[in-house]
Amino acid sequence: MNIQFSWKHGLIALAVAAAIGCNGGDSSATTPTVENKGTEAAPAAGARKAPTAEGNKVDGDVIKIGIVGSLTGDQKPWGEDSIEGGKMAVEEFNAAGGINGKKVELITGDSNSKAEGAKTAAEKLISDGVVGIVGEVASGHTIQIAKSAFDKGVPVVAIGATKTDLTNEGTHVSRVCYIDDFQGPVMAKFAYEELGLRKVALMTDNKQPYSQYLSKTFGDKFKALGGSIVKEAFYESGQTQFSGQITELKAENPDGLFLSGYFTEVGPIAQQVRQAGLKDVKLMGGDGWDSPQLLTSGGDAILGSYFCNHYNNKEDRPIVKSFLEAYKKSHGGKEPGTTMAALGYDATKLMLDALKRAKSLDSKSLIEAINETEKFAGVSGDITLKGFNGNPPKRALVVEVRPQSEGFQVFRKAYEADEIK
Amino acid sequence: MTVFPHLLAGLELSTLPQQLVNGILLGAIYALIALGYTMVYGVLKLINFAHGEVFMLGAYTALFTSWSFGFTEVGNKQDSSPGILILMLIVSMTVCGVVGVLIERFAYRPMRSQPRIASLITAIGISLLLQYGGQLFLPSSPPPSISDKVNPFKGNIEIPLKPADSALLAQAEQLKAKVTSTKAAYDEQLKSEKDSFNLSPVGKELRTASQDAERDYRNAIDKANKDALVITLPQGQVIMLVTTVILMVILTWLVMRTTAGRAMRAASLDFDAASLMGINVNTVIAFTFFIGSALAGAGAMMNASFLGGTKIDTFFGMLPGVKAFVAAVLGGIGNIPGAVLGGILMGLAETMVIWAGYGNYKDAIAFIVLIVVLLVKPGGLLGSNKVEKV
C-alpha cells in the first residue's frame, strides 16, 4: 500500500516537473508541483485552460455584472463588506458615464457561507445574463463559482480567495488578492525574523482547504528559515472544546502557535490556549482572522497576536484616503470593518475597467481584457494580471490585534511581493 | 506483526493523565445532555430528536441574559460575579424546561395515540423547525458569542501527581540568571531602537540571545513539570464539572426519593399499569420533559460561557446532540446511570483518539464505539437486553 502510494506521487511529481520544464530552477529543494509555484513563476502553458463556451453578451442598454458574497451565515461580515465595496465601484462608474451611455447593473447573489450556496448563486447569476462575476471571499466557495463559470464561459474576479491553485481552474479566473503561497511564507518570515520564534506548532481546520494549505505554506517556509514545526493539531469548524488538541501542543512547549483557520474558531482557541497555561505563546494567523468579531470571541486572550492582511485603513496612500472618505460618506461615517470592502471595490472596479478596454461587450472579450490588465490602481495596491496567470503580485501587511479603542488592527510590517522567494 | 510498537511509538505518556482529565471534563457535558434523551425514552419510548435544539436555545438564553447584564461589547464592563453566573444558569434551565414542556404538550402529546413512528417524525420536524426557523428571529449571522468578561474564573489550577524532582528544578533555577541578564541587555538595546519590528542586526542578536535563554529555561521547567506529571485544570471547567455533579446528585434524589420520581419510575416500568394505578401520566411526562430539558439548558449555559468565545448559532446543538444521543444509547437508553457512564466514555474516547495522534478521526470514533457496543451488547452497557422493535 505504502509503496504504491509513494510511487504514484513520484510519477505525478515527475509528470508535473516535465510539464513545467526547467522554469527558472530556483524552486530547488521542494518538489515542483503546480501548487508550489509562487507569484512570479508562471504555471506551464496549458495548465490554465480557456473556457470554450461562448458566455453571455450584453443586449439592450444595461450591462449586467454579478457579485457573490455571504449575506447570511458565519462569513456575513466579509460578504456584506465585499458587496458594499462592489456597489460603490459600480455607482462611481455609472456616475462617470458608464460605457457609451450604457449603465452597469450589479446583481447580488448570496452564498449563505457555503460552497453549495456559492455554486447555486453563480449559476443563477449566469442564467440572469451577467457578463462577469465578482466574488467570493472564501476559497472553497470561489472554486465552485469558477467551475460553474467555466462551463458557461463567464469570467470570475475573486475578491479574497487566496488558495493558490484556484486560478488553475481556467483563464477565466483571476483575483485581486495575494495567494497563500505568499501569505504563509510572509507570516513564517515575520515569526522567525521579527518575533524571533524558533519552535512553532500549527493548528489546522480540517474542514477548510484554505486552512490546510496555509498551514502547509507557513510550515514549509518556517522550516526553510531554520525553525522547527513541533506539531500540527487538527480541529473542525464548529468545534467548541479544544483541550485535547491544546494538551498535545503544550507537551511540545512551543514558542508560537500558527492558527490558520477562520476567526469563528480562532477566538475560542485563543481563550482556551491561555486557560491551559500557555500564557506567553505568540498566536499568529492569516487573513481568515480579519473580522472585528475576533475581539468578542477571542476576548483579552487574542490581544497582542499577529495576522497577515491585504491592506490597512490607516495607510497614508492617497487612494486609500479617497476610498475611505467615499465609503464613510455613504455609510454614515463608519469605516469598513474588514478589508473585504476595499478588495470587493478593487475586484469590481477592475472588471469594469476591463469592460471599457474589451473589444466588444461580451464575456469572451472581457476574459481577454481582464488578463491584459496592467498596473491597475487599486485601493489594496497596484494590480497586474498580464503574465501572472491571474495571480497579481501584491504586498502583504502584518498587523497586531489591539482593542477596538486602538483600531483593532495595528500595522506592524509590510512585505513586498519580491521579498519572499 | 510489528504493528503495535509502530502504533505506540508516537505516544507521549506524560500527557496521558491530563488527557484523561480532559476526557472526563468533556464527557460531563455529554452526560448532562444524554440524561434528557434517556429520561424521555425511559418514560415515553420516544427519541426526542429536538433535544439538541433545546440545548441550542439554552445557549441563546444564556447569551441574552449576559446581554441584559451589559456584557454586549468588548471592554465595556469589568469581570462579572459568580452571582450573575448562577442567575444565568437558573434562567437557562427554566427557559429550557418550559420549552421542553411546550414541545411535549403541542408536538408529542397529540401524537401519543398514533403509531410511534409518527412521534419520531414529529421530533425530527421540531428539530428542523427550530434549526431553520430559529434563524428568522435569533441572531445567527455572524454568529454571536458570550463575552469573555462573563466568566471571572480564567485562571487554572496545577496539580502535580507526584513531587517534583528537586534536581530538575535546581537545573531550571540555574538557567534563570542568564534569562535575566540577556533580557536586560536586550531591553537596554531596545531603548536605542526606533521600531521593534525593524531591529538593527545588533538588536536582533541580543533578542535572539534573550529568547534562547528564555527557551532553555522554559524547556527545563517543562521537563520538571512533565516529570511531576502536572495536570492543568482551567478553573472554569472545574466549576462546570462540579455543577454537573451537583445537578446529577439532585436528579438522583428527585428520581429515587420523591413521589414524583416514584411516579416517573412507575410510568417507565409500565405506562398503562401506572395510569390504572391512579398516576397522572400527563403530569409525569411533563415533569420528565421539564427536568431533562433543564439539564440540557444547564449544559448549554456552561458550555457557552465557560468555554469563552464559542460561537452560538441555530446549529449549536446539532453535534453535541448527536454525541449525547450516542452516549445515551451506549450506556443503555432509558437507564439514568447508563447515560452518565456513556457520556464520560464518549468524552474519554474522543480525547484518547487525539492523544494517540489520530485527531482527524475523533468524531468517527464516537460512532465506531457505538457500533461495536451495539454488536456486542445491543441493549447498551447498563441497559436491559430486551429486544425493542423500532
A165 with A211, same domain: the answer is no
What whole-number distance in Å separates Cα of residue B368 and Cα of residue A389? 46
Contact (CB, 8 A) for B123 and B40:
no
Question: Which chain A residues contact residue B347 at CB under 8 A?
Answer: none
Establish if A399 touches chain B: CB-CB under 8 angstroms. Answer: no
Contact (CB, 8 A) for B369 and B361:
no
Low-confidence ranges of chain A (pLDDT < 50): 1-45
Establish if B171 touches chain A: CB-CB under 8 angstroms. Answer: no
Instruction: Name which of B218, B309, B359 is nearest A234 (Cβ-Cβ).
Output: B359
Residues 65-84 of B with CB under 8 A from A: 73-75
Strand partners, A376: A383
Establish if B143 touches chain A: CB-CB under 8 angstroms. Answer: yes
Instruction: Name which of A74, A194, A297 is nearest B309 (Cβ-Cβ).
Output: A297
Which site among A189, A208, A243 would you substitute to test the B interface, given the most B Cβ atoms closer than 10 Å to its Cβ?
A243
Q: Distance from A283 to chain B by nearest Cα, in Å?
A: 16
Count of structural domains, chain A = 3
Contact (CB, 8 A) for B40 and B292:
yes
A292 with A332, same domain: the answer is no
Closest-CA residue to A227 (of A201, A249, A261, A247): A201
Task: Calculate the alpha carbon distances from A410 to A10, A317, B194 in Å.
Answer: 44, 16, 17
Contact A77 B142 (CB under 8 A): yes
Q: Distance from B284 to chain A by nearest Cα, in Å?
A: 34
What whole-number distance in Å separates Cα of residue B209 and Cα of residue B206? 5
The amino acid present at B149, given as its one-letter code, is: K
pLDDT tens-digit readout, B6-46: 555 566 778 888 899 999 999 999 999 999 999 999 888 88
What pLDDT was estimated at residue B190?
81
A197 with A335, same domain: the answer is no
Contact A297 B204 (CB under 8 A): no
The pLDDT-based confidence of B5 (bands split at 50, 70, 90) is low
Contact A253 B222 (CB under 8 A): yes
pLDDT tens-digit readout, A244-254: 899 989 988 89
Assembly ipTM? 0.87
Which site among B145, B194, B225, B237 would you substitute to test the A interface, given the most A Cβ atoms closer than 10 Å to its Cβ?
B145
Residues 234-293 of B with CB under 8 A from A: 234-237
Contact A74 B141 (CB under 8 A): yes
Decide if A52 is inside a domain.
Answer: no
Question: Which chain B residues contact residue A276 at CB under 8 A?
Answer: 156, 232, 234
The pLDDT-based confidence of B50 (bands split at 50, 70, 90) is very high
pLDDT at B381 over 50: yes
A171 with A191, same domain: the answer is no
Decide if A332 is inside a domain.
Answer: yes
Q: Distance from A77 to chain B by nearest Cα, in Å?
A: 7
Closest-CA residue to A132 (of A78, A166, A179, A174): A174
The pLDDT-based confidence of B77 (bands split at 50, 70, 90) is low
Question: Which chain B residues contact residue A113 at CB under 8 A?
Answer: 141
Distance between start and end Cα atoms, chain B: 43
Task: Calculate the alpha carbon distances from A335 to A123, A160, A286, A299, B333 in Å.
Answer: 32, 19, 22, 22, 54
A293 with A347, same domain: the answer is no
Instruction: Name which of B198, B236, B309 is nearest A268 (Cβ-Cβ).
Output: B309
Task: Calculate the alpha carbon distances from B354 to A30, A140, B160 in Å.
Answer: 30, 26, 22
Strand A132-134 to A62-69 pairing: parallel
Question: Which chain A residues contact residue B73 at CB under 8 A?
Answer: 296, 404
Q: Domain containing A214: what range?
A: 181-309+398-419
Could you tell me how far CA B172 lies from the centroid of its own chain?
Answer: 36
A117 with A216, same domain: the answer is no
What whole-number distance in Å separates Cα of residue A90 and Cα of residue A370? 17
- The beta strands (E) that lie in A54-114 are given as 62-69, 103-110
A130 with A258, same domain: the answer is no
- The beta strands (E) that lie in chain B are given as 156-160, 230-234
pTM metric for this prediction: 0.84
Neighbours of B54 (CB within 10 A): 30
Decide if A348 is inside a domain.
Answer: yes
Share the mean pLDDT of chain B.
87
A259 with A404, same domain: the answer is yes
What whole-number distance in Å separates Cα of residue B308 and Cα of residue A295? 12
A92 with A107, same domain: the answer is yes
φ, ψ for residue A146, nearest 5 deg: -60, -40
Residue A149, CB-side half-sphere exposure with 13 Å CA sphere: 37
What pLDDT was estimated at residue B175?
85
What whole-number distance in Å separates Cα of residue B262 and Cα of residue A330? 66
A288 with A414, same domain: the answer is yes
DSSP letters, B58-98, are HHHHHHHHHHHTT--STTSS----HHHHHHHHHHHHHHHHH
Residue A155, CB-side half-sphere exposure with 13 Å CA sphere: 29
Contact B354 A75 (CB under 8 A): no
In A276-410, where does DSSP find H-type helix?
293-298, 318-330, 340-357, 363-371
The pLDDT-based confidence of B385 (bands split at 50, 70, 90) is low
Decide if A250 is inside a domain.
Answer: yes
What whole-number distance in Å separates Cα of residue B352 and Cα of residue B345? 10
Helix H or strand E segment including B149: none
pLDDT tens-digit readout, A252-262: 889 999 999 99
Residue A374, CB-side half-sphere exposure with 13 Å CA sphere: 3
Q: Distance from B354 to chain A by nearest Cα, in Å?
A: 6
A265 with A350, same domain: the answer is no
Inter-axis angle of helices B16-44 and B51-68, to 10 degrees? 110
CATH code of the domain covering residue A121: 3.40.50.2300
Residues of chain B with pLDDT > 70: what percent?
94
Helix%, strand%, coil% for chain B, nearest 5: 75, 5, 25
Question: Which chain B residues contact residue A275 at CB under 8 A?
Answer: 154-156, 234-237
Instruction: Name which of A241, A299, A413 is nearest B197 (Cβ-Cβ).
Output: A413
Which site among A232, A234, A241 would you substitute to test the B interface, given the most B Cβ atoms closer than 10 Å to its Cβ?
A241
Question: Which chain B residues contact residue A245 at CB under 8 A?
Answer: 354, 359
Place of cell 489550577: B157
Question: Which chain A residues contact residue B310 at CB under 8 A?
Answer: 240, 268, 297
Buried b / exposed e across B243-268, counting CB within 10 Å, b at 16+?
bbeebbeebeeebeeeeebebbbbbb
Decide if A49 is inside a domain.
Answer: no
Contact A253 B19 (CB under 8 A): no
The pLDDT-based confidence of B76 (bands split at 50, 70, 90) is low
Contact (CB, 8 A) for A63 and A94:
no
Q: Distance from B333 to chain A by nearest Cα, in Å?
A: 25
Residues 6+ apart with CB under 8 A from A252: A199, A201, A230, A231
C-alpha cell at A313: 485603513
Place of cell 420536524: B125
What pLDDT was estimated at residue A15?
42
Residues 29-68 of B with CB under 8 A from A: none
pLDDT at B199 over 90: no
Decide if A283 is inside a domain.
Answer: yes
Buried b / exposed e across A366-404, counting CB within 10 Å, b at 16+?
bbbbbbebeebebbbbebebeebbbbbbbbbbbbbbeee
Contact (CB, 8 A) for B234 and B18:
no
Which site among B19, B55, B74 would you substitute to test the A interface, given the most A Cβ atoms closer than 10 Å to its Cβ?
B74
pLDDT at B205 over 90: no
Decide if A38 is inside a domain.
Answer: no
A76 with A10, same domain: the answer is no
Contact (CB, 8 A) for A189 and A415:
yes
Decide if A234 is inside a domain.
Answer: yes
Contacts 24+ apart (CB under 8 A), B190-198: B197/A194, B197/A412, B197/A413, B198/A413
Q: Tell me the residue length of chain B.
A: 390
Contact (CB, 8 A) for B62 and B305:
yes
pLDDT tens-digit readout, B98-117: 999 999 999 999 998 888 88
